Amino acid sequence: MTDELDKKILNFLQKDAKLTIKELAESLEMSTTPIFERIKRMERDGVIKGYVALVDQEKVGRGQTVFINIRMPVYTAENVAEFEETIREMPQVLECYHLAGTIDYQLKVVVENIKEYDRLLLEISKIKNVNVESSVIVLHDVKQQTAIPL
């Protein structure tokens, strides 16, 4: 469980993970030792999963985002495991959600262009017992946020 001080630390780190322990301590009007210990505990407990750089996808040639809705007509543990293992290996797939309802999975993918998306779709269609139900092409981002509200 996290307390209010943990949440304050997490809010600062979600805005700027490059903050030093000293900068965090100064912002929270505390000494560095308890801040350091709390961060290490949250890392150890898996509250903080890691630290990343947020990359502008257009500037690295991955400007097209597509959401793909997948249905699995033969829903078995073996088919689920094979699909999930295959999807984890596809670098274009940023996110994959297992859903309840008429769609079994939703993928968020980033590609350079529609031609690359077409090739990815063919690759996905080769996975056993998987149907691509629909694709939704993103026209532009309205909101993109990585910070979890605390």
Q: Give the confidence band of 61 by pLDDT, cuts at 50, 70, 90.
A: very high
User: What is the reported pLDDT for 91?
Assistant: 97
Please answer whether residues 9 and 24 qualify as being in contact, where contact means their C-beta atoms are separated by less than 8 angstroms. Answer: yes
Q: Is 120 helix (H, G, I), strand (E, B) or coil?
A: helix
- Model pLDDT for residues 21-38, shown as the tens digit of each residue: 999 999 999 999 999 999
DSSP structure string for 72-92: -SS--HHHHHHHHHHHHT-TT
User: What is the reported pLDDT for 1?
Assistant: 84
- Model pLDDT for residues 63-108, shown as the tens digit of each residue: 999 999 999 999 999 999 999 999 999 999 999 999 999 999 999 9
- Domains with residue ranges and CATH for the chain: 4-45 (1.10.10.10), 64-137 (3.30.70.920)
Q: Is 44 helix (H, G, I), strand (E, B) or coil?
A: helix
User: What is the reported pLDDT for 81?
Assistant: 96
pTM of the predicted model, to two decimals?
Answer: 0.89
